[in-house]
Structures are given as C-alpha cells and as structure tokens.
Amino acid sequence: MNLLDNDYESLTMVTDIRTQGKIPFFLIDYPDGFREAVTEINDWKIQFEFTGRDNIQYWFMTSGGEFNRDEIMVRFPKLIERRQKRKHFRIKTPSGTRLKVELNSIKHEMSVIDISIGGAFSALASTRKQPNKRPPFKTGQKLKNAILFFPAKKEGCGILIKKMLTKRIESDSLIARYRYAFQFIEMENEYEKALTEIIYDIQRKHLRARLPME
C-alpha cells in the first residue's frame, strides 16, 4: 500500500470484505506508522498493488477511508488496472543478507536493506584494503559477478548477479557510510528463479507475522 500524499509505503493484507448499504468495502490491516502518516490528511488517497495468480502486477486506488479498530476500511475501487510491464515490489530483507562484489581487485561487502527481483538497496558494510572515505562505485557504473547471500541459506549457496547497474548513491553522514541502489540487468535463469522463490518466501513470512494470534 502507498499513501499518495506521503512517502509512506508498506506491505499489508486484506483481512475481510464488508458491505454497508450495498457499498462494498475492504478491511485492511494497517501497518505500523500508518496512523501517524495520515494525522494531517483529511482525504486519504491510497494506492494498492498486488500480484495476481498470472504473475502480473495489478493496482487500484481508493479515496477516503476510516479506522475500524485495528484495521482501516476503504471502498472498493471502480476499476482495477492490469500492468503488463510488471513493477517489481520491494521487500525488507532478513538481518544478515549480504551483497558482495569485487572491483579493481578490491572486495566490497554490503548489507542489503531491501530487495526485489529487479534490484537491491544496500549499505556499504566493509571494503577490504581501502577505507570508506569516498564511495567505491559511481552512478551509472556497471558491476559484474556480484553475489547475494541470505542468512537462511547454506554457505556457498549465493545468488550470482552477472551484471548490475549502480542507479543511485546516498550518503549517510550520521554513520559515515554510503548506500547504493542497484539494478540487476543480467542473471542466469536458475539464479533468477531461486531469487524469486526467496523473495516470495520472505513475503510470506512477513504476512504470517501480521496474522492475529489464535
């Protein structure tokens, strides 16, 4: 869900469908921070995205809405749009997810903040043989043979990214390190399939954690 009058974006789930006066509504579990995000917004404009069984991205937008205990209640949309060009959703990675790449014989290791099948947002964790005084990568730079490591996987079972592009660089002055947005531009089919399965497994765990306890 994406609050259009704010930068708020989060993964959530529909908990129920209800009709009031012949008007259908979604009941949606609102994530942490949503109530604070709409404090000064009178008319909510929320965009929802989901992936159908055909693996194609769909989206719809609603206006208005109200709190209903631990959920929000929003009207059904007049239409749902199908996106043929699928936009990859991002999801936060489990602690310990790493991205390693070698450039000019120097090995760099990054902590992955969030990921999609199309790219990753990472923070530089360490650089061997070189201090972190300036970013080792440049915007628009192509990198080869980067490897993704997930904490739940066995040692040596990394995901090979044959080519990726540095799309954006951010500087975090508070902790004196750089963060990078990478776009994956070439992967072998077996690694792309494995990464897709891992991402959906992470998504299932996030959603399962939001289910109410019996």
Q: Which CATH code, of 3.10.105.10, 2.60.120.10, 2.40.10.220, 1.10.150.130, is assigned to 91-208? A: 2.40.10.220
Maximum C-alpha span of the chain = 68
Structure tokens given for 100? 């390693």
The pLDDT of 35-52, averaged and rounded, is 84
Least confident of 27-31, 47-51, 93-97, 174-178: 174-178
Per-residue pLDDT tens over the stretch 49-71 = 877 666 667 788 888 888 988 88
Domain ranges of the chain: 2-83, 91-208
Residue 41 pLDDT greater than 60, yes or no = yes
Contact 4, 198 (CB under 8 A): no
The residues, ordered by sequence, that sit 6+ positions from 68 with a Cβ below 8 Å of its Cβ are 27
Phi and psi torsions of 189, nearest 5°: -55, -40
Query: Are 63 and 15 a contacting pair, CB within 8 Å?
Result: no
pLDDT at 86: 46
Which pTM value belongs to this model? 0.57
- Most confident segment among 6-20, 33-47, 94-108, 166-180: 94-108
Q: Which helix (H) or strand (E) holds 176?
A: none
Distances from the Cα of 113 to the Cα of 145, 159, 171, angstroms: 20, 16, 15
What's residue 172's pLDDT? 67
pLDDT tens digits, one per residue of 75-91: 888 877 765 544 566 78
Task: Note the pLDDT of residue 54.
Answer: 62
